[in-house]
Amino acid sequence: MSEAVQATRRRALNRRGLCLVLAAPSGAGKTTLSRALLEIDDQLSLSISVTTRERRPGEKEGKHYYFISQERFDAMAAAGELLEYARVFGRSYGTPRAPVEEALKAGRDVLFDIDWQGFRQLRAALGDDVVGVFIRPPSLEVLRNRLTKRGDSPEQVASRMAHAEAEISHAPEFDYIVENRDLDVALADIRAVLRASRLQTRRLLNPGGIAHAPAD
């Protein structure tokens, strides 16, 4: 196959990137699934948020977060430079707009670890570029057992269970719901969602393009 034909086929399959949002109540396995997905899919990168909280031991600038002042954060929000943002326990967190839009334009996919409120904001900002997956535990009792086994105090378990029920009530807002009864099955389900989403007609930049070998 000639280089010209190969180049034509690459252009025909060019697509816009997507934002994959994974949301879940604490203890549902979202962090484990996110890490596994990033390890096996080199077309996917994790969105790095900005935050006003102090850096913790072992955290690196640009890898875990971008650490900025509250004044800088407020200025970014006012200027529309954040796709979504929230204030949690007195600290602000948000997603910078520019790197995400650059990735989408270049055909790269971005993974988001945010809650249902962040998903709402992201969907409002980027529309069909966003694919939402809610990870649900098999039952509330299974979730309670997971939280207890990982060492959460009774008070923490009670608080997180109450929060989990509120989170789960928003699951119908997402495009897909994946039940994490078995980690490998849940991971396979998320990969299937991602693969199908990448092949959506509206995401292709040239959906009607077909490569033809040049005439002799």
How far apart (Å, rounded) are the C-alpha atoms in residues 48 and 114?
Answer: 11
How far apart (Å, rounded) are the C-alpha atoms in residues 125 and 97?
Answer: 9
Classify residue 210: in a domain, yes or no. Answer: no
Look at residue 184 in the predicted model and tell me its pLDDT.
97
Classify residue 4: in a domain, yes or no. Answer: no
What share of the chain has pLDDT > 70, as a percent?
90
How high does pLDDT run on average in the chain?
90
- Residue 163 sits in a domain whose CATH number is 3.40.50.300
Higher pLDDT, 69 or 6: 69
Domain extent for 104 = 9-203
Contact of 93 with 86, CB cutoff 8 Å: yes
Contacts of 124 (CB under 8 A, 6+ apart): none
Classify residue 109: in a domain, yes or no. Answer: yes
Look-up: residue for tokens 């007609």?
Answer: 201
Look at residue 195 in the predicted model and tell me its pLDDT.
97
Contact of 21 with 119, CB cutoff 8 Å: yes
Average pLDDT rounded to a whole number, residues 70-97: 95
State pLDDT tens for residues 105-144: 999 999 998 999 999 999 999 999 999 999 999 999 988 9
Domain count of the chain? 1
Classify residue 59: in a domain, yes or no. Answer: yes
How far apart (Å, rounded) are the C-alpha atoms in residues 109 and 20?
Answer: 7
Q: How many residues does the chain have?
A: 216
